[in-house]
Structure 1
Amino acid sequence: MSSACPFAKGASVGAVCPMRSQENQEKTQAVHEDKIDDKSNHSDTISPKCPYGFDSQNFKLGPLSCMICQSLLFESSKCMPCSHKFCKVCISRFSDCPLCGADIEKIEPDKELQDMVDRFINGHARIKRSQVNTDATEAKDVPQTVIYGDVSMERGSFLVQQALRAFRGQNIESAKSRLSICAEDIREQLETSGSTSELCSQLGAVLGMLGDCCRTMGDAKSAVTFYEESVEFLSKLPPTDIELVHTLSVSLNKVGDLKYYDGDLQSARNYYAKALDIRRNAVKENSKLSSQVVDFAVSLAKVADVDRNLGNEDVATNGFKEAISCLESLKLSTDEVGLEQKRNSVLEFLNKQLAEKDRQVIDAAV
């Protein structure tokens, strides 16, 4: 799944989601003011804390988590006779309980626990805390006012973080469910707030991840639908944010890949070409950014590969050579090890393609 999601930075220790920077600044100021009030013994609020242990600082597992995929329980099930509880998909892979080692005789659904998990998700990001009436602190009979405060983690970031955990744990249905809730939340905000850049970028990223879920599940048709809708929203944004431009081009390439594997080469080329145009413009604006150059070369390779399959050999060869030239002229620093590996892998593919053409020429001459 794409790591360029605008929620992703909000799901790491000490990081700030760029889409929530202003909101976080306001919260930081409020926290600072609370600390000042604490020192002067005039604090009138209780710091909110998630009752189930979910925390934005360390994302520790709470009691509603599956110990296998480390995400919130989905289709909660208990293995008998030990009664330890996991996601249905996760525990179905085992014959012995991962916690106690007991033989699993059967797996039973736990509807009551799943209902609790669902209620927790629906209510997350809001928790009760009391506020003391400072004008009547001496009056014991004066009722406290109950207010709601954010639980240290923005709801969208929380849902995406849970989805990413589930996806890594191969619980794709769980990931899709969390992302669907997140997408629904954002759509509701779009209806009330309009198509702001913030909401479009968030929805575009989440829809792309939903496409990843469907593709992993083998549902190519739904995957294409999600990717295309992702492109629709991300295309509304100005092409100045590097991460969003990357996410947009990746979604286009993923549609192209699905069309390619389905045998629709012309449609595949159309999507690859759109991604190539976006990346070509990005390289012009960020020529010193190594990742943009590698992305550009990858798109050249994809378009050229389809051209070869369509019988446009000369066009394909030119594309392969341009991609090789870009990668060979790229100067990488010593700390860009991952990017160096990607470059070498792409170069290997490109050189094989040119070698294949040379072999065909020799065979034809013979």
Structure 2
Amino acid sequence: MSCIILRPDPKALFDQLQSMFSSTVLGGGVVVPESNEWYVLANDYAMAEQFYAIADQMWREADPALACCDNLYKMAAQHGVFPRPASHAEGYAKLTGTPGTPVPSSLEISTSQGIYVSVGTVPLTIPDSGEIIIRVRALTPGPEFNSAGTVTTGTLTTSAPGISDDVEICGRQFCGGAAAETCEQFRKRYLERLAYQPRATMAWIKQKLLEFPCATRVCVREGACCRCTPECTDCADCGCKNCGTRMEFYVLFNRVFPCGIPPQNVVADIQTWLFGEHQGYGEGQVEMGVCGQIYAPKPLMVNVYIDIVGCPSSSQKQIISDQVRALFERICPSVPLRTRQVELIVSSVVGAEVNVAVRFEVLPPVDNSMVFQAACGDLEPECDYLPCLNTISFTGPDIRGAQC
């Protein structure tokens, strides 16, 4: 282990050299200021200071926390770490056309903000619904091509008979565009890399999934998906789903897609991006040996009825509505939705002493294979179903249910 060479205070260094010069050259005599001896001493002092400065700088340049940018880049390159270039903004575009129409593999869309081209998986034909959603990327990298609600439509400039030229931008968003990494940003990332934290952790994988353009929520596939089938008596041996032994996730995009649920081709892109085309070989973002699956949940549209004894103000109702919407943007598929969750929101706004009752109404078509509704009103979605907020209503006192 090497240690830094301590650099003396300038006056202490000069006094040390003066004492040594006096004893070795002058036989203990005094060094007279501005004399020839004094100038020789000053020259020795300057050389010593230069030595300490060079040694100090060499020490600094060997430390990635202190090195200049050029040396930092060379140092990091030896470990296979390089500065990130500017990234392209990405978003999602909805195209409409005649069912069965072939879709070109490469599409170009013009918007008021610039030109975007299709990337990732593009459906081969227009489905029966007459709509497809594709992922698009700005031709030019940089943050100026990001958008948060300003770009609503675009025009398809690629020749595609049977497909409308009018394009809708999903969620009015383009995300992920960034300038090239600065020296200090790179230094911070490189130091974190040197600290090393194992990548195959659940927290790391969730954080990595949130880097996918416009993703806002990542959920582990659990809850109802962990139940055994009715005919199964021994869950360890009968092939039932066993949560915790496989990497299964939902990736949701609030305010980009309806209910935040991405279309299947976007799910396929996320799957390939994270785990690679051939799983377990380290072709994606995860390390070798890590496999998994991304799922798209099915929507379960829910009306929320709130009965508050008394007369809450319009501002209180607005706060409650906003917090209930935020709740639905946080919940995960396949896990119960409790009336108590909404009741606690109401209590935090109007006070705990106020009586409140909450009821959920699931919009048809619905059956027991999709959701179970308890007597007290709680919703227990089946595997891969996500409760999605349809409307919020403040009602009278005639809809109270049994206590859970």
Give the TM-score normalised by structure 1. 0.26
Q: Which has the higher strand share?
A: 2
The structure number with the bigger radius of gyration is 2
Q: Which has the higher helix share?
A: 1
